[in-house]
Amino acid sequence: MKSTDKRLLEIFTELIKIDAVSGSELPVNNYIREFFKKLNIETYTDNAFEATKGNSGNVIVEINGGGEFFLAAHMDTPRPTLGVAPQFLEDRITSDGTTPLGVDDRAGLSAILYAAEKAAKEGTIKPCTLLFTVCEETTLGGSEYFKPKENLKYGYIFDSHMRPGNFVSGTCGAMRFEFLFKGKPAHAGISPEKGINAIEMASKAIAKFPFGWINKETNANIGIVKSGKATNVVANEYLAIGELRTDSIPFGEETITSVSKEFETIAKEMGGSVDFKYEWEFLPYQINESEKPYQKLSTVFQKMGLTINGVKSMGGSDANSLNAKGLSSINIGVGAQNPHANDEFILYEDLTASAQIAYTLITE
């Protein structure tokens, strides 16, 4: 086993053994609040559960007034970690292969909690806010609900699968859309000519859909389809659900509007119709090298001897919600490798580096 602080390993191990999928984060909420109670640091929980329909809100810790920056991690896992059996190998921590390890985002949580405890006991912690969100894995519901106070300006999310030194400086936006094709039911065996087949209609329309990469910054997909109730009935409805990801909101809306018009034309020609709706699940953002969070993180990485590497991602995180609120936010790599799978793992050196990054951010 590589040399890693025993307290850091203890916190990580305790957290991964708490089963708390999206919407069921209350046990992690309780752990975090008790953690800070022992440090005589006040916490509170907001009402994000009203929006997410879960059993917990976000946990918020305002240290010495809350400061102008925050550190954040999410409390939920995408899959249950009940019964996880961590394996402490020579260079990494894994599960026994029967469950996920829960490294996404227990690694981020552990790094922040360890850093806060160490700095609080030393008396070196600076004014800052610690934010622990709910439902990141499903809807980003916790970060979308979060209501930042005026003093907050920027922050860091400890949640990327990339190794420390790497971070997400910008992402695309993601749009969810639905097309409901409407035809006319009829008996498929006796009088199919009296019906208008929504499946046939949708098939002709979807054949025109721009699957995959539209350009270097935009891709689209239809991933869910639902139709039919019986083999002897001409299907009168067909639901197609998909997403479009792009750096450009105007281009995304222009593209999906064009698709919807083409679908409407095909449906009308066949005597049917199509209902269409969409919403942006998260918006794109870009943090430039001249901005304070980028510059501060660069300084920290240089002190730690890490090679700084800001990259663009086609995935979303709490950083998207928080940037949309005017908080310049960077998603930091914590080394949560193979996330969501049973072969998830984290290297000791990455867990240690993540905790050191958090500690340096809140003390210097």
The residues with which 233 forms a beta bridge, in sequence order, are: 187
How many alpha carbons lie under 13 Å from residue 205 in its C-beta half-sphere? 30
| Helix (H/G/I), strand (E/B), else coil: 229 | coil
How many alpha carbons lie under 13 Å from residue 253 in its C-beta half-sphere? 6
How far apart, in whole angstroms, are the C-alpha atoms of residue 122 and residue 180?
Answer: 60
Span 70-90, pLDDT tens digits: 999 999 999 999 999 999 999
pLDDT value for 4: 79
The pair of structure tokens assigned to 250 is: 């105007």
| Mean pLDDT by groups of 10 residues along the chain of 364 residues | 81 97 98 98 97 97 97 97 95 96 96 98 97 96 96 97 94 97 97 97 97 96 96 97 97 97 97 97 94 94 92 92 96 94 96 97 95
Exposed/middle/buried for residue 188 (C-beta within 10 Å: 0-12, 13-18, 19+): middle
pLDDT value for 306: 92
Span 270-282, pLDDT tens digits: 999 999 999 999 9
Amino acid at 193: E
Query: Quick check: 285 and 170 in contact, CB under 8 A?
Result: yes
Q: What is the 3-state secondary structure (H, E, C) of 156-188?
A: EEEEECCCCCEEEEEECEEEEEEEEEECECCEC
pTM for this prediction: 0.91
Q: Which domains does the chain have, with CATH numbers?
A: 6-172+284-363 (3.40.630.10), 173-282 (3.30.70.360)
